[in-house]
Amino acid sequence: MNLNELWFVLLGVLLAGYAILDGFDLGVGILHLFTRKDEERRILLNSIGPLWDGNEVWLVTFGGALFAAFPHAYATVFSGFYTAFMLLLLALILRAVSMEFRSKKESRAWRRLWDVLFGAGSGVAALLFGVAVGNSMRGMPIGADMEFKGGFLDLLHPYTVLVGLFVVSLFAMHGAIYLHLKTTGELQQRIQGWIRCSFWVFVALYALTTIYTLVDVPLATRNFGMMPLAWGVAAFNVLAIANIPRAIRRGRPVYAFVSSSATIAGLVLLLGIALFPELVHSTLTDGVSLDIYNAASSPKTLAIMAVIAAVGMPLVIVYTGVIYWVFRGKVELGKFSY
């Protein structure tokens, strides 16, 4: 494996880490809209309270790593998706400050305002991530000068919106399973209902997205011939999804959470297989696709960044593990909670 391929894989790892970790806290944010009482909302918020910030760093680091390793892809995608990214930033800002502000006042109107912003911010962020994935599967109008040649509305194709909704349902389900682990009693009972409901919506959207992809997005499976392993990944994904209701029924929510995490990892892997070795596929006949070679930094930078990742990421994994261990178990509201 050369350095360019290594960085393609590392970015995939960062993206999968982000989608698994922030996925459940975005999901909790979406589900926040369906709660009834103030205490329930606080339990939801505090289930992710100490964790969400570290989870979001996976996205920030993904952005930084893309900038360093494949600056042309970073520049093209972020300037091309300008309006979409501004909306995403707005959603992420509102979501973050809502958590911090919400419980600082007793007023019901105050809390309702931040509750709605928190839920909406989480939902819009998840939707936009899905739309971004949908666009990278379909390809984008990239000119020979590596610049995006479309507008905001070009990004909203039925397929990309479908993938957006698919990601919303995926994160909602993932978040519901996470909440099952963190709650007790009557609330947990209701969360079981949320899991059931989001699971079937997810399965339906998964089927729809798969069919649409196979019929209309040739890019998605072009590498499957070269990599028979891809079929294995797809099969593994189906098994992981099937295991979710089974694990819940048997009272093993940890397995269900592992399964939904594995589902997300599998989907990121499929995305990687579909794209490789490209990062951004151009749909223009006279355009140029950005791949891991023509979009890359110098070999020197890729090598140094690999050293930085090799030193830093094990540390990150250790202390992420520590904090998940410290805050394991059910949510207890106390003096220091949100």
**248 binds other proteins, rule: CB under 8 A:** no
From first CA to last CA, the distance across the chain in angstroms is 46
Residues 146-185 that bind other proteins (CB under 8 A): 146-149
Dist CA 160 CA 272 (whole Å)? 17
Indicate the residue among 75 and 219 with the shorter CB distance to other proteins. Answer: 75
**139 binds other proteins, rule: CB under 8 A:** no
Q: Which two tokens stand for residue 52?
A: 């969400």
Least distance in angstroms from the C-beta of 327 to other proteins: 7
**313 binds other proteins, rule: CB under 8 A:** yes
In angstroms, what CA-CA distances link 262 with 197, 233, 247? 20, 10, 14
Indicate the residue among 231 and 324 with the shorter CB distance to other proteins. Answer: 324
In angstroms, what CA-CA distances link 140 with 111, 130, 204, 273? 41, 15, 27, 18
Dist CA 64 CA 125 (whole Å)? 19
Dist CA 281 CA 274 (whole Å)? 11
**211 binds other proteins, rule: CB under 8 A:** no
Least distance in angstroms from the C-beta of 270 to other proteins: 25
Residues 32-71 that bind other proteins (CB under 8 A): 46, 49-51, 53-54, 56-57, 59-61, 63-71
**305 binds other proteins, rule: CB under 8 A:** yes
**304 binds other proteins, rule: CB under 8 A:** yes
H or E, element range at 238? helix 229-249
Residues 77-96 that bind other proteins (CB under 8 A): 77-83, 85-86, 89-90, 92-94, 96
**316 binds other proteins, rule: CB under 8 A:** yes
Residue 226 carries which side chain, given as an amino acid letter? M
Least distance in angstroms from the C-beta of 302 to other proteins: 9
**322 binds other proteins, rule: CB under 8 A:** yes
Residues 279-298 that bind other proteins (CB under 8 A): 297-298
Size of the site for other proteins (CB under 8 A): 71
Helices 38-48 and 3-32: crossing angle in degrees, nearest 10, is: 170
Least distance in angstroms from the C-beta of 176 to other proteins: 22
Q: Is the previous residue joined to 299 through a cis bond, with omega within 30 degrees of 0? A: no
**323 binds other proteins, rule: CB under 8 A:** yes
Q: Which stretch binds other proteins (CB under 8 A): 98-106, 166-174, 215-223, 235-243?
A: 98-106
Indicate the residue among 77 and 167 with the shorter CB distance to other proteins. Answer: 77
Q: Which two tokens stand for residue 4?
A: 């360019």
Q: Is 283 exposed, middle or buried (0-12, 13-18, 19+ CB in 10 A)?
A: middle
